[in-house]
Amino acid sequence: MKNLISKFAKSWKKIGPGLVTGASDDDPSGIATYSQAGAAFGLLTLWTAIVAFPLMAIIQQMCAKIGLITSQGLTGTLKKYYPRPVLYLVLLLSFPAIVMNIGADIAAMGAVGNLIFPSIDANYFSVVFTFILLSLIIYLPYQRIAFFLKYLCIVMLVYFIVPFLYKQDVYAIVKNTLIPTIRLDKDYLAILVGILGTTISPYLFFWQASVEVEEMKKKRKHLIVNKKIISLMVQDIDFGMTVSGFVMYFIILTTGTVLYEGGIHQIDTVEQAAIALKPLAGELAYFLFAIGVIGTGFIAIPVLSGSLSYIFTETFGWEQGLDKKFHEAKGFYMIIAISLILGLSLNYVGISPVKALIYTAVLYGITAPPLIAIILHISNNKKIMGEHVNNAFTNVMGIIALFITALASLVLLYVYFSELF
């Protein structure tokens, strides 16, 4: 038993930023999108988990390798090697979606906090969660933040439990997992784009590249990147994305059976998703779902705000890094603070948390294709990557990811505008 615990402890220590990246991919935005997919269409979108996994893993691997090879984030690489309009396009595409994502996640956490403790107003929870997160990000060094986030990922296990609290149709599950279903109507296409947007999330591109640089600083100042280092990075990301893919799958499975079969096909607020589970799947399922939303918010919001801060500080050449203290990188932490406060302020605009979350996911789905194209170009640029340019398999998978995200977005826009006119 001691040997087993010891082996687990050693393996756990080897887990890098890939797990945190994967867990943050299933933030309240993802949970809301998957829940709405399950509630509206039952098990019809289960297959997307199988399709999305290799695509999101390969894009994250490219971003991580850019960080390892260049010793700077994605935005810093763009600034150094590409025309300024490309850099400003990235800023334009990233800023509104990330801030809306932060705001929607905060609102979702507040709503679920109120669900668990009904006597306390949801807005109070949102404010408290915001300032707890801000304090942790500013006052804890990167090593402590990474340690905290990695252990917080354990909360993701709740979504593996919930489906087994309800009777399942095994044949329907297998069929919808292996056989894709495509429906040419606006709502279904919007959900598909939303699922792609919340799994292949642009903010994670920037986070992955920058956090690999942070990891290098933590281990050694001058790290020689070789095949072993890259192989370990690939394994780390594959593990994190596997966890993310399973969580996505089980949330769609839960809501696609419990809510859809229970006649609940529209989710307007995060608390509705949890409350709807209560009479249909039991008190435990309802409570675990709610806890999962708060836990994933605590994982995702530091990643969201951190990625946005890396984008801005690399663009303008400011001091940056979660390993630095506040007085050493004031601009970096001010961007994080501003993004959290702006996100919190969106709570008072009047958009329901779930609608904001799904809008964010769809916006990500539309902005992902140009960003993936840029990442592919960098990853094949020998001037930047040297001998570590993409191999044929990585390029093929990257092009497939680009094609699928672009096609989904274009079809959605076509259907939407054809209905208007």
pLDDT in tens, 291-333: 777 888 888 888 888 889 988 888 888 888 777 888 888 889 9
What backbone phi and psi angles, to 5 degrees, belong to 228? -65, -45
Helices 74-81 and 84-116 cross at an angle (nearest 10°) of: 170
Q: Answer whether residue 135 shows pLDDT above 70.
A: yes
Buried b (16+ CB within 10 A) or exposed e, 104-137: bbbbbbbbbbbbeeeeeebeebbeebbeebbebb
Tell me the per-residue pLDDT of 25-53, one tens digit each, with 9 for 90 and over. 667 777 778 888 888 898 999 999 888 88
pLDDT band, very low/low/confident/very high, at 419 (cuts 50, 70, 90): low
pLDDT band, very low/low/confident/very high, at 175 (cuts 50, 70, 90): very high
Tell me the per-residue pLDDT of 194-247, one tens digit each, with 9 for 90 and over. 787 777 778 888 888 888 887 776 665 555 666 777 777 888 888 888 888 888
Q: Report the pLDDT value the prediction gives residue 385, as an integer from 0 to 100.
A: 85
Q: How far apart are CA 87 and CA 89, in angstroms?
A: 5
Q: How far apart are CA 68 and CA 74, in angstroms?
A: 11
What's the whole-model pTM score?
A: 0.82
Spans of all domains in the chain: 21-420
Tell me the per-residue pLDDT of 248-257, one tens digit each, with 9 for 90 and over. 888 888 888 8
What is the CATH architecture assignment of 21-420? Up-down Bundle (1.20)
Higher pLDDT, residue 271 or 33? 33
